[in-house]
Amino acid sequence: MDPKTHALFVERARIIKALAHPSRLYIVDRLSQREHCVQELAELVNADISTVSRHLSILKNVDIVKDEKRGTKVFYSLHTPCVLNFFGCVEKVIKSSARERADLLEKES
Per-residue pLDDT of the chain (109 residues; tens, 9 = 90+): 999 999 999 999 999 999 999 999 999 999 999 999 999 999 999 999 999 999 999 999 999 999 999 999 999 999 998 998 988 888 998 888 888 777 777 777 6
**Coil, strand, or helix at residue 13?**
helix
Reported pTM: 0.85
Burial (CB < 10 A; 0-12, 13-18, 19+), residue 59, is buried
Q: What is the largest CA-CA distance in the chain?
A: 63
Domains in the chain: ranges and CATH: 3-80 (1.10.10.10)
Strand partners, 39: none
> How far is the C-alpha of 105 from the C-alpha of 109, rounded, in Å?
6
